[in-house]
Structure 1
Amino acid sequence: MLQRPLLHAESIYRRRFGLLDALSQTVHQMIDELS
Structure 2
Amino acid sequence: MASLLTRHFPWFPRPRFLFLKWWTRKNYEINSVSKNG
User: TM-score range with shorter-chain normalisation?
Assistant: 0.5 to 0.7
Indicate the residue corresponding to 1:30 in structure 2: 30
Identity of aligned residues (%): 16
Residue correspondences, number: 25
Instruction: Give the unaligned 5+ runs of structure 1.
Output: 1-7
TM-score (norm 1): 0.54
Mapping for residues 1-35 of structure 1, pairs under 5 Å = 11=11, 14-15=13-14, 16-35=16-35
Larger helix proportion of the pair: 1
TM-score (norm 2): 0.52
- Detail structure 1 runs of 4+ shifted over 2 Å in the superposition: none
Q: CA RMSD in A?
A: 1.7
Instruction: Give the unaligned 5+ runs of structure 2.
Output: 1-9
